[in-house]
Structure 1
């Protein structure tokens, strides 16, 4: 008997606990992964959600029953599983995480050897089909599971992104949001002390706590930024860093406590790479593009556009051997990290830039923000995303904008542009607007109001 599983999304697995995702479904996913890819050994880890450990154990049972040996990394962020999948002698990895989704959700991120992503286009649908029909083959030898502590090796890798001797004295606020990042922050703090790197860590909400006493860690939501902002101001810090639950995204705050949109961090990191090596390829998503293109023109980089979402970005980066890829949603991808996204590497690169330029973070990004103001991502709950996107397109078609359909619809009017797309992970419509300040200095709110009215009409 075939059961329809609704937890399979475009590039990972996310579902409501109990109905869309439970231990039985997790077992079937592990079993299907093992039967389809037939790896000898994989790594697995889980975030701090209260349901994650049980889902992880069920997935391990499925993998073992498919004949796969498992290295259990324990409580980890997604990028520790990515690191394990390309650093260790394994042929894949699974992280149990719902990232920033609500409390009653969980999910999985799956990779193959060398951390190659598994998305709807590259095998996730095959896993779904086999998990749904449960046509599992018996194996001669079941796999076994052993615990493995990858943290020391992961820390050594991260330290490789900086030159300890060149880091100037800095004070950093670190907000793990009670998610999975705290143990890595603690280990990095210890390593910085051993290497005499003059950086002071001010840690808030550092303890891993699956009840999330301060709310789901998702600093992209304005209401979740205040504790980081206040800590930066109180401690007179040079920068604030906040992470989401599985810490594959980090969010930066300048020394004034101002949240820096991920869009401008893409420009900053692209600049950092191109200062070292001109002509490198940089991958970006279509939601907000003008600042990134401007930076690449200034520093002689080559822009490559990709559909939003980690699986798509990674595939495009591999295809073009891009040194860096960035999404405005605060996902940052690195060639030296097997093209995977990391929430730790961006802030390490940021302190390198702060040290080398001797500038503040606010001064490094203020010109970008002034030239290309943006709305930040605005989310809408709508009945039908496809119908709403078509309604928006029909409204603006007469103005003859440039049209790009890489992801959702992007319309470019010269003085301003916007992208509207359906979320791959939640039932939401996502809107991003940017403009050229020299053309229409005060127009952003007008664009926001106009599009909001169309969407909500």
Structure 2
């Protein structure tokens, strides 16, 4: 980037609260990425230091990785290119090596998208409040002036592979060698789990575990030819559910495109909710922390997880801390509280032993360990973690979101409830029979409803009543 320009660049369409995401060739290009790489080094004062850059299997990721590296090197940072990585591999490398880094991924977004997830040294998250806005502003400046000034000494660009170190590290955290034999179907959705699953759970790099892995869509293909790599949508779990039943498998695992989230289905092909997985992992992490001498281990959960999570944590002698939705909030509270584990309703799972970062693979390993150390099926094991009935997240397109929430408040004014506004508005029946949360989307004209009750009839009654008011 050396030409004289007078164009004013505005990157606000692609810079989000926690990352960068846009349409390739439009809101994210190699020229933009090079400027972002330079700005990343300047804002985090990384001149003379080494940063890490990788990317997922999207066709544009290699070009963007090189462009980011070029921008960073121009501003004096050394770069180690990690090549193809999952997002949690970036967090692992940033944590283990105590370096800042970036990976190119658009997670579960369609094939035409790409983006950048950035991390400070030690896998500390970067958000709009902690530097991302400054990176945006400086990148816009470099693009508008048409030049990135060269540092006194240009950085060197090299290559590093962290897949084996990552796999060995995860296996040290959860010992699966003593599990009973399990048949495991894994749907990688043509995403990065197609690379990490054989390395961590298979025998591609390490000794074989007592698992028969049945692969679905392990071929890395950023065009997602089989289904979108977004397991949060039920239709994207159908192939996994069918394969579990067809093969008589014990469990099914589905990962999103960059493999930082993991979804679980039982031997009947039924989804095991992320709240149940949170409870399952929390129980194991509390027991492990207590065995190491921690009196009251802390577990973080966002306010949309089932209330069964907090009840289980308290029952097991832990302390439950409720937070807002969003990975930068969870990571910050994890660090503040010294929490051992955190879980979200969206299947993001965070571990103190993973630098407070989220990793779908480590959560999957905990579920496999919990299943493999006892004889019962996953459907029975999962049932004890899901005593309540949930609506799931329901979106309503609403122009005036505050007015819709006010209609609900007015209608429930005569009820014996408590309302809190930690994130959106949460209405909780004081007799414990139900709760629901209404939360506006920051980026779309949606009001999101999550409801939970002690029985299906109550949940459906509350859900339908709230939706009628919201959509009135």
Q: How high is the TM-score relative to the length of structure 2?
A: 0.90
8 Å CA contact 2:428–2:436 kept in 1: the answer is yes
How far 1:69 sits from its partner (Å)? 1.1
Whole-Å separation in 2 of the counterparts to 1:430 and 1:47: 30
Whole-Å separation in 2 of the counterparts to 1:14 and 1:262: 25
* Mapping for residues 38-437 of structure 1, pairs under 5 Å: 38-39=45-46, 40-88=49-97, 90-134=98-142, 137-191=149-203, 195-278=207-290, 279-369=296-386, 371-383=387-399, 385-386=401-402, 388-399=404-415, 401-414=417-430, 415-423=433-441, 428-437=446-455
Q: Secondary structure at the match of 2:384?
A: helix
How far 1:13 sits from its partner (Å)? 1.7
Q: Secondary structure at the match of 1:312?
A: helix
8 Å CA contact 2:201–2:209 kept in 1: the answer is no
Work out which of the residue numbers 16, 23, 39 in structure 1 matches 2:30: 23
Instruction: Give per-residue Cα distances to partners, 1:16-68, cap 9 Å, x unaligned.
Output: 33433222222221111111112211111111222322222222222111111
Instruction: Give per-residue Cα distances to partners, 1:114-133, cap 9 Å, x unaligned.
Output: 00000122111211222223
Instruction: Give per-residue Cα distances to partners, 1:65-108, cap 9 Å, x unaligned.
Output: 111111111121100111111112x5201111111123332221
Whole-Å separation in 1 of the counterparts to 2:154 and 2:215: 43
| Matched residues, number | 452
Whole-Å separation in 2 of the counterparts to 1:247 and 1:31: 27
Instruction: Give per-residue Cα distances to partners, 1:359-414, cap 9 Å, x unaligned.
Output: 32211221332x21111122334435455445544543453632222222212123
Instruction: Give per-residue Cα distances to partners, 1:139-182, cap 9 Å, x unaligned.
Output: 11111221211111011011112324421111100110001111
How far 1:417 sits from its partner (Å)? 1.0
- Structure 1 residues 362, 146: closer, same or farther in 2, change over 3 A? same
Structure 1 residue runs of 5 or longer lacking an equivalent are none
- Structure 1 residues 338, 260: closer, same or farther in 2, change over 3 A? same
Instruction: Give per-residue Cα distances to partners, 1:323-373, cap 9 Å, x unaligned.
Output: 00000100000000001000100111111111223332211221332x211
Whole-Å separation in 2 of the counterparts to 1:53 and 1:247: 18
Whole-Å separation in 2 of the counterparts to 1:269 and 1:216: 27
Give RMSD over aligned pairs.
Answer: 2.1
8 Å CA contact 2:240–2:254 kept in 1: the answer is yes
8 Å CA contact 1:410–1:419 kept in 2: the answer is yes
Whole-Å separation in 1 of the counterparts to 2:404 and 2:25: 31
Aligned to 2:3: none
- Structure 1 residues 145, 215: closer, same or farther in 2, change over 3 A? same
Structure 2 residue runs of 5 or longer lacking an equivalent are 1-6, 291-295
8 Å CA contact 1:9–1:425 kept in 2: the answer is no
Aligned to 2:4: none
Q: Secondary structure at the match of 2:67?
A: helix
